[in-house]
Amino acid sequence: MLHWFGNVEELSSHNVKSVFTVRSMGVKALSALAVAAVVAAGARAASANTITSPNWSGYALTSANNNNNAFTNVSATFVVPTVTPGTGTGLSEAAFWVGLDGYSSQRIEQIGVIAEAETGYTSYYYAFYATGAGAANGIAQVLPGDNISVAVSYNSSTDKYGLYIDDTSRPGINETITPTAGTNPAPSSAEWIAEAPANSTGTQFYPLANFGSVTFTSASATDSGPASGTISAFSNTEINLVPTSGLSANTGPLSTDGSSFTVTTVPEPAALGLMSVGGLAILFGRRKRR
């Protein structure tokens, strides 16, 4: 099944960004309008503590808000939540990941877990990573309750990224991927996100699956300052997922030490207009029928 992931998208009346692109939630380049929307969103969000997005919920750090320093590392742990179908009868999805870039740029480097749920099918969970502006890649099937550690790093001297995932509940799932960045600029953002991916054409988001809640713990980042610490050690932006229909996802406050937070699904919100941005794709097999 083909899916798109990527950047933050913007609601017309809110500050927003894109995580798994829908144009960047697919393997498509952002249109000029989409690029303008993302850039504008980034500019406005720079002075805000909280923004809304049709596809992301979580926290993000940007170089614009942190002395123009590039980000070189982001990491966290989480437990894979049990997902059930969201509103409606079709396929619903949820992705949980950490990443560099994607907040206000077309390039993304993300790693985490995707969960699919649909009435009449067994919910399916798999670890994945996504790089550049292309297709996301499956790593292995995981299960709810698994303890996941993830990290993304960037080495400016070698111009390479490192994406790492370890399912400590399953010793066989421990992967490190090192794609070359090429001539792209150093990462301008770092994120900890729960996302609603987009469909195979990158034209709209899947309804968000009901995952109850997911908690990111041991969340930290490093920039080129160099500065290193938990989310609260940096100027950060809270993102809340507010789709045009279906479940929303609210981001909770940071813990006292700034190293953890919880994202929780909530009932269907009132419809709001939105603008779309770009994306990447991911191909996986159909789930088995119950």
Per-residue pLDDT for the chain (290 aa), expressed as one digit of tens each? 444 445 544 322 222 223 333 223 222 222 222 222 322 333 323 334 899 999 999 999 999 999 999 999 999 999 999 999 998 778 999 999 999 999 988 888 999 999 999 999 999 999 999 888 656 789 999 999 999 999 999 998 888 999 999 999 998 899 899 988 877 789 999 999 999 987 666 667 889 999 999 999 999 999 999 999 999 999 999 999 998 888 999 999 999 999 999 999 997 544 333 323 333 333 334 344 34
Q: Are 150 and 165 in contact (CB under 8 A)?
A: yes
Secondary structure letter of residue 289 according to DSSP: B
Secondary structure letter of residue 39 according to DSSP: H
> Which ranges of 14-120 does DSSP label H, i.e. alpha helix?
32-45
Instruction: Supply φ then ψ for residue 35, to 5 degrees.
Output: -60, -45
For residue 171, give every residue at least 6 positions away whose Cβ sits within 8 Å of its Cβ, in sequence order, or none.
Answer: none
Residue 272 is which amino acid?
Answer: L
**CA 145/CA 225 separation, integer angstroms:** 37
Domain edges within the chain: 2-283
State whether residue 27 is helix, strand or coil. Answer: coil
| Closest C-alpha to 106, from 203, 195, 32, 176 | 32
CATH of domain 2-283: 2.60.120.700
Instruction: Supply φ then ψ for residue 11, to 5 degrees.
Output: -80, 145
Secondary structure letter of residue 44 according to DSSP: H
Model pTM score: 0.80
Instruction: State residue 59's pLDDT score.
Output: 98
Hey, what are 79's tokens?
């437990």
